Structure 1
């Protein structure tokens, strides 16, 4: 290519093209640098064009692009790297470029960040007209635009473990494999740094994360709520999601195609078929196949409660005021001084179902640090009334403050019993006595004997969709983290030591349901005797 004269007019510079058409023309002039199509020019597929049209569409009244956050989720090996590199170059020195722009390809580690930079470098080195306008700084892994549109702009790969992200002013940012980010720090840093630009764009492209609380999962859930009418329309946000339905046959090629738009094209059908055959013989490989190939949000670990079963117990919002005076049972899981304390009330409905009203407590000291350590957004949940998380002043849980909340609930609801673990109960009992609160406290052991019955009760009620937990975020986290261990007799208990995170809320729920069902069973002989009389 180096012997050919440079073109004076490039495809995206032709008159009469719309904004989207210029972007497409730019991308389709870029060379493919690796794989079986190396040496040819990029040819966008219809699904890629649809995504670009949705993201870069302009408001006819203002002429500006409304979308500021774009999310694309699809399975592995569907051409993500080439697309992201092409869009980064489009904003660096193509039709979307602006003077002194800052373009970042953000990744979870240095090696992944270098891969994104290396792809952009390879494309430029195979495109003479673009190459002559840039300075490739290999030592710093940067690309600088020297002349033409985008003069003074710079492209840089940035990893989550970079020393600093302060002072940045991104005009365009690609978040690569955000679904596998350890935390939301890099996303938050880039998202909040874009305010100085007139039309900034943050684009997150990744396979789905494996849990609901990961930052990429929260972005997808937001987009799905908008799409399904459960949230207000947001012109600044766009989601394109390719995922296989959880209830679809995972071994059928039609299911594979729903998460792999490039299947049978540049995504090898034979390779997916091979991985499916292996996954059918191994539960662990099946979970990995579902996540990476079917782009389903499925943990590689076997859950105590299946996600679909737990979700089926979301029957709608609960108004605590409508429960005032109702009979209920409680479970209390007191924490160490700095950990999560759970207080869960269950209200029988008379038809074998229960309303579940949880409340959680954490010290407010270093709540951001606790969020990082547990990899969940406690700081966000503390501002969300539906999460029912109360931050207590200080560095440690003050039993007096917990007792005050329990006393308030005791005044509102007809609490028939409180199941508790012996851990720190004496401190709480003393505080309740100081408040003149009398509650029927019922000791509930945490060993296999008592927790075995509680686990069985919880599992049955969840399986039969007889709970309404209103999709409480913290209770859902606890359910997703839960792991059971068994003794020689087959009795099970929720094991905090082996859980993948906090399970305090689920333990409290299991205890509350257990004593509620136990008291119902104890009432039967009396009822039967009365009937016989």
Structure 2
């Protein structure tokens, strides 16, 4: 069985956990004093299994000499059904009405939307309502604001969501970040993180299942936690607790189920329920991907029917130095979009005898870039700042910027051909040809694109495709949904793809023309009906 090097084996090995001031023991005692309405233990005692107890001790026990808690951020990657919501609710109460509360302390349950935020809050309220009446009377519940107040200390617990507008001005001492993989934008994360830096002893606990794609805040945080777990980054303030299955593991293996679901040995989640889900997943690819993601914590890419395994694609991420390619024969693929979408140029050069190296230039409208990022769920502003995408002025793409880039590339490299999807590019093609540049039409029908996609697939699978790890291009490749005809010809289906794939289309065009070498073919003779069949 393939295992992950980031697994938190310390949870099960009985190794000592430092607790010089007894804060870990204090936290455990408080949690064990709680009652939970759904608990099957005598007196509805809060169920804190040993593996969760060790997590609590590891968070709160280790301290600096002056008593300051060492851990400031906890990342718990845990599959569904392992009672992470109950644990998170109890920790919220620990900081609101328990021994970790501070005067005026602001404690938050933060989630992607109001409904999800309310789940953790209601879990906490269920515990509170199990208290003796004399204790409940000392607290104040403001249900309309999803807030529990501790008037004696001025501390409060509140549920907030990422879809509820601005939350600037927050200075939380405790924040439970719930299901971070579902957060489509990072605004609330940034507000909470910056606010917590103002407060001594604040702690942020992220509890989430695995997500999809790499263009989101969840992947960024979890990947950082992986590096800490592997020892690549020295950050004692970060506690990574990652129950994660490697992507190449056998998802049918029940040993793996038990390894990444620490509650399974205690009856949660239900083993028979997992077996039933696995049987269904055998015959339904979409269910299989959901099973791997939600029950085994395999971090997936966007497409449920990927063009290639993205782990194989990622092997081509070694650096591409454009200075080394100046003067070398070059082929360009151009995918022009509607005025408000993504457009791209992809350049391709030979890499050795049978390999290819590519580099893309992406363009999008510059107006409302952050709003576009929220809609597509990707960091357009960050990509723009880092030079991976060029926003053109206005709310539509200025094609003159793209045309100027093409002319610049022709001056810089030995461009043999500029292949266009003519659907939006006829005027630009005509202008370039008029100036003696090698622009050609490459229609998007099966006859043209199936061989191009086949060539691209062979290159990637054969580890002969070097792309430099460009993040926007990777995102495009991870979005592809493939359509296959009776002759096993493949096409990229734009309507079924999870998001934009323009860079992958342009890459296929550029690689195909590069593979053909100096043999130039004009594609205008293909039938329009074949072109339309692609879409």
Could you say which TM-score interval applies, normalised by the shorter chain?
A: 0.7 to 0.9
Counterparts of 1:141-180 in structure 2, within 5 Å, are 141-147=146-152, 151-162=153-164, 164-180=166-182
Listed as ranges, the gaps of 5+ residues in structure 1 are: 1-14, 524-533
TM-score, length of structure 1 as denominator length: 0.85
User: 2:332 — aligned with what?
Assistant: 330
In 2, Cα distance between equivalents of 1:411 and 1:483: 36
Partner residue of 1:312 out of 297, 311, 315: 315
1:494 is the counterpart of 2:495: no
Listed as ranges, the gaps of 5+ residues in structure 2 are: 1-18, 522-535
- Aligned-pair CA distance for 1:163: 5.2
In 2, Cα distance between equivalents of 1:444 and 1:300: 26
CA contact (8 A) 2:36 2:126 kept: no
More displaced, 189-198 or 71-80? 189-198
CA contact (8 A) 1:117 1:156 kept: yes
User: 2:31 — aligned with what?
Assistant: 27
Alignment partner of 1:293: what SS? helix
1:446 is the counterpart of 2:449: no
Q: 1:18 to 1:510 in 2, by over 3 A?
A: same
CA contact (8 A) 2:21 2:61 kept: no
In 2, Cα distance between equivalents of 1:379 and 1:328: 30
Counterparts of 1:306-385 in structure 2, within 5 Å, are 306-314=309-317, 316-385=318-387
In 1, Cα distance between equivalents of 2:143 and 2:78: 31
What's the RMSD between the two structures over aligned residues?
A: 2.8
- Aligned-pair CA distance for 1:371: 0.6
TM-score, length of structure 2 as denominator length: 0.85
Q: 1:465 to 1:39 in 2, by over 3 A?
A: farther
1:18 is the counterpart of 2:22: yes
User: 2:260 — aligned with what?
Assistant: 259
More displaced, 477-486 or 273-282? 273-282
Partner residue of 1:223 out of 209, 220, 225: 225
Q: 1:192 to 1:460 in 2, by over 3 A?
A: same
- Aligned-pair CA distance for 1:290: 0.8
Alignment partner of 1:285: what SS? helix
Q: 1:167 to 1:222 in 2, by over 3 A?
A: same
User: 2:250 — aligned with what?
Assistant: 249
In 2, Cα distance between equivalents of 1:427 and 1:58: 67
- Aligned-pair CA distance for 1:228: 4.2
- Aligned-pair CA distance for 1:459: 1.6
1:113 is the counterpart of 2:111: no
Q: 1:364 to 1:261 in 2, by over 3 A?
A: same
Number of aligned residue pairs = 500
- Aligned-pair CA distance for 1:369: 1.2
- Aligned-pair CA distance for 1:50: 4.6
- Aligned-pair CA distance for 1:164: 4.7
Alignment partner of 1:264: what SS? helix
CA contact (8 A) 2:79 2:297 kept: yes
Alignment partner of 2:341: what SS? coil
- Aligned-pair CA distance for 1:38: 6.9
In 2, Cα distance between equivalents of 1:143 and 1:63: 28
